């Protein structure tokens, strides 16, 4: 059972937009920044979004992040087949004194 809650899977057609939610509590998302990671099949995770909504250099602006209260969201617009991956949210947890991740969401582009 992950501390941060994500839907196990989402799917959408190419060129459409999809959002992935991440729900936490006051000790993690409510008080700390949220980061998002993309894990392509068989690969290591890659930083996608940091500090709730900032894009690292080289990441497509089709990806965007947002946060409100104890929840965060990742949005992907103009879906492409290469976006098929697992997506994880993460945040520092003040109560556990460690990093916590969501359980991951598998994105399928139909």
* Residue 16 Cβ vs another protein, minimum distance, rounded to whole Å: 25
SS3 81: helix
The pair of three-digit structure tokens given for residue 53, joined into one six-digit string: 């909504």
> Considering only CA atoms, which of 85, 92, 99 is closest in space to residue 18?
85
Nearer Cβ to another protein (52/83): 52
Residue 6 near residue 21, CB atoms below 8 Å? yes
Residues that bind another protein (CB under 8 A): 2, 32-33, 35, 37, 39, 43-47, 50-51, 54, 56, 86, 88, 90, 92, 96-104
* Residue 22 Cβ vs another protein, minimum distance, rounded to whole Å: 12
């Amino acid at each position: 059972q992950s501390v941060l809650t994500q839907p196990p899977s989402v799917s959408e057609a190419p060129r459409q937009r999809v959002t992935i939610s991440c729900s936490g509590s006051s000790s993690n998302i409510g008080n700390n920044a949220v980061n998002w990671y993309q894990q392509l099949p068989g690969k290591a995770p890659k930083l996608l979004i940091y500090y709730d909504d900032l894009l690292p250099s080289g990441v497509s602006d089709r990806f965007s992040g947002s946060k409100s209260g104890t929840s965060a969201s990742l949005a992907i617009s103009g879906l492409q087949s290469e976006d098929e991956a697992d997506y994880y949210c993460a945040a520092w947890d003040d109560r556990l004194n460690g990093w916590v991740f969501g359980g991951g969401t598998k994105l399928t582009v139909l």
